[in-house]
């Protein structure tokens, strides 16, 4: 009887093995369908409590991965029912695929046997870019979710919080100035306030009275005119 050959784990910079597997959420998924849209985070998992806890962490941050233009795909070596239970337990929304025949697990060099669970996948995480190349890989360990997000952002340049904050700041009014005060400033043209006819007349009278007082003629006579009796 021929022994099934187990491939070696794909190296960083190498081609990511294609897979086409059924999803616990329904339908099937091909890796190349997702890489056409952006980088894909492929996470192989087993039935352990540690993997369940890890996928709960991923579920809490998968929206951030999507904002960074990446996709998350989980692959487990097991039956459809076990995959659906895994989805319910972890709350993950992204695709969870079940590798019932172990084809993808073998091609990624991750198939191993345990007395408790039989054949299963070794813990491993790969980031595959849009060129179908493995750009980051963690095998036998679980990278922190923050590290995965950072690596994805390096690839896509997304999200861009600094630019978003700059745009928000441009929309905010200047400190200490309200919309009403700005409107008041806009209403002044060339330093002049818009006055009513009555206010303009009152100010003209005040100016005339001031000039008359300065010239010493309370009746408003022109300067240099002699007073009566002189």
What's the chain's Rg over C-alpha atoms? 38
Q: What percentage of the chain reaches a pLDDT higher than 70?
A: 73
Residue 208 in any domain: the answer is: no
Q: What are 20-34's pLDDT values in tens digits?
A: 999 999 999 999 999
Q: What are 184-228's pLDDT values in tens digits?
A: 555 444 445 566 777 777 787 788 777 776 666 444 444 444 444
As a whole number of angstroms, the longest Cα–Cα distance in the chain is: 145
The H or E element that residue 112 is part of is strand 111-114
Residue 229 in any domain: the answer is: no
Domain range holding 95? Answer: 20-159
* Exposure string over 76-114, b if 16+ CB within 10 A, otherwise e: bbbeeeebbebbeebebebbbbbbeebbbbbbbbbbeee
Query: How many domains does the chain divide into?
Result: 1
Residue 35 in any domain: the answer is: yes
Q: What are 108-136's pLDDT values in tens digits?
A: 999 988 777 678 899 999 999 999 999 99
Quote the CA–CA distance of 127 and 147 in Å, as a whole number: 12
Q: Indicate whether 38 pLDDT > 80.
A: yes
Q: What are 168-187's pLDDT values in tens digits?
A: 555 555 555 555 555 555 54
Residue 223 in any domain: the answer is: no
Residue 170 in any domain: the answer is: no
pLDDT value of residue 178: 53
Q: Indicate whether 54 pLDDT > 60.
A: yes
DSSP conformation class of 191: T
| Average pLDDT for the chain | 82
Quote the CA–CA distance of 86 and 24 in Å, as a whole number: 9
Residue 75 in any domain: the answer is: yes
Residue 52 in any domain: the answer is: yes
Q: Which candidate, 74, 88, 89, 91, places its Cα nearest to that of 23?
A: 74
Residue 181 in any domain: the answer is: no
The H or E element that residue 215 is part of is helix 197-215
Cβ atoms < 10 Å from Cβ of 154: 13
* Exposure string over 172-196, b if 16+ CB within 10 A, otherwise e: eeeeeeeeeeeeeeeeeeeeeeeee
Q: Indicate whether 151 pLDDT > 80.
A: yes
Quote the CA–CA distance of 142 and 113 in Å, as a whole number: 19
CATH number for the domain spanning 25: value is: 3.40.30.10
Give 228: exposed, middle or buried? Use CB within 10 Å, 0-12, 13-18, 19+: exposed
Please provide residue 178's backbone torsions phi and psi, each rounded to the nearest 5 degrees.
-95, 175
- Window from 62-71, 77-86, 105-114, 154-163 with minimum mean pLDDT: 154-163
């Amino acid at each position: 009887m021929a022994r099934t050959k187990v491939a070696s784990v794909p190296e960083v910079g190498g081609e990511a093995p294609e897979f086409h597997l059924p999803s616990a959420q329904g339908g099937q998924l091909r890796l190349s369908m997702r890489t056409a849209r952006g980088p894909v985070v492929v996470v192989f998992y087993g039935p352990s409590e540690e993997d369940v806890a890890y996928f709960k962490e991923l579920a809490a941050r998968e929206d951030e991965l999507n904002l960074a233009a990446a996709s998350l795909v989980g692959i487990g070596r097991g039956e459809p029912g076990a995959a659906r239970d895994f989805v319910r337990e972890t709350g993950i929304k992204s695709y969870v695929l079940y590798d019932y025949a172990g084809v993808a697990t073998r091609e990624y060099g991750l198939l191993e046997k345990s007395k408790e669970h039989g054949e299963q996948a070794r813990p491993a995480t790969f980031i595959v870019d849009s060129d179908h190349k493995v750009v980051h890989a963690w095998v036998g360990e679980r990278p922190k979710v923050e590290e995965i997000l950072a690596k994805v952002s390096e690839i896509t340049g997304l999200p861009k919080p600094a630019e978003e904050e700059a745009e928000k700041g441009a929309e905010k009014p200047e400190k200490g100035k309200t919309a009403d005060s700005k409107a008041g400033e806009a209403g002044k043209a060339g330093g002049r306030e818009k006055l009513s006819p009555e206010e303009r007349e009152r100010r003209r009278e005040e100016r005339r009275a001031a000039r008359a007082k300065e010239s010493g003629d309370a009746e408003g006579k022109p300067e240099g005119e002699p007073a009566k009796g002189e």
